[in-house]
Copies of this chain bind each other. A is one copy, B any other.
Amino acid sequence: MNDRTILISNDDGVNAPGINVLAAVMRNYGRVCIVAPQEPMSGMGHAVTVRHPLRLRKLEEEEGFSRYSCNGTPADAVKLGIQVVLRSKPDLLVSGINHGSNASINILYSGTMAAVLEGVISGVPSIGFSLADYSYHADFSACAKYVRIVVENVLNHGLPAGTCLNVNIPPVAADRIRGVRICKQGQGMWMEEFDERKDPHNREYYWLTGAFASIPNGRDTDDWALENNYVSVVPAHMDLTAYPAIELIKKWSWDAE
């Protein structure tokens, strides 16, 4: 069982507390290799780096554990991890534990989940873990148990081809977590605004800011689960097709004159 190779990445940076919590749990399941951005990359979405060269730096190596940083995005880190560091597909990819929720629409902006989707693209079973608490010194003590439950399920059952898991853990003490719910992606969104300021030369600049607002959309969403102190597990894939719209749109006028 410890013959497995497990690749770990994140978007909060190679030394963030959350990745260390995840690595400590994963060492029970195989050889762990961390390849993660050297600096925080939250909000990077599925960015990849094609305009400047990538560097890889070995930070630690011991029996069954290694840690590398790269100067790229989470998606870059996974590509480098598979192709340059491991030089073969790992048995499992896990990403996180993210400092902050990746439920609902956040999956699109999330570097943590970009790393996971990059794993899926490479045909590796992949899971993203997030704690819905944005602080650097978040309390991860409730997380290990749920990481184990999810990982053991994936190792026992496998994941359907092309499907990954987006796991979010509510920011409450372990004894207040009510269990795990399998969900669909919620419809929450950021109610954003720009904080407009003037620099010392009287020129405007803007800081993106805002608050997350969940949009009630049923008890089967990840938003609902987190608000009600459940761990949410959303099976996700890379297909953005809005299937119900296909037949509708086919009826429009498509003949080129």
The chain A residues found within 8 Å of chain B, CB to CB, are: 40, 42-51, 53-56, 75-76, 79-80, 83-84, 105, 107-109, 114, 117, 121, 145-146, 149, 152-153, 156-157, 159-160, 162-163, 165-166, 177, 179-180, 182-185, 189-190, 192-194, 196-197, 203-208, 233-246, 248-250, 252-256
Contacts and interface: CB of A to CB of B under 8 A. Distances in A.
B256 A182 contact: no
Contacts of A249: 153, 165, 182, 233, 235
A9 to B, nearest CB: 15
A143 B109 CA distance: 30
B235 A238 contact: no
Nearest to A179: B256
Main secondary structure of the interface of A (DSSP, over half): mixed
Nearest to A178: B256
A235 B245 contact: yes
Contacts of A152: 253
Contacts of A208: 48-50, 54, 76, 79
A149 B254 contact: yes
A254 B54 CA distance: 40
B84 A196 contact: yes
A192 B239 CA distance: 20
Given A47-B47, A184-B246, A256-B145, A53 B207 contact: yes
A236 B249 CA distance: 12
9 contacts: A46-B108, A83-B193, A149-B254, A153-B253, A157-B252, A177-B256, A184-B239, A236-B241, A240-B240
A89 to B, nearest CB: 13
Given A80-B194, A241-B185, A54 B256 contact: no
A229 B257 CA distance: 17
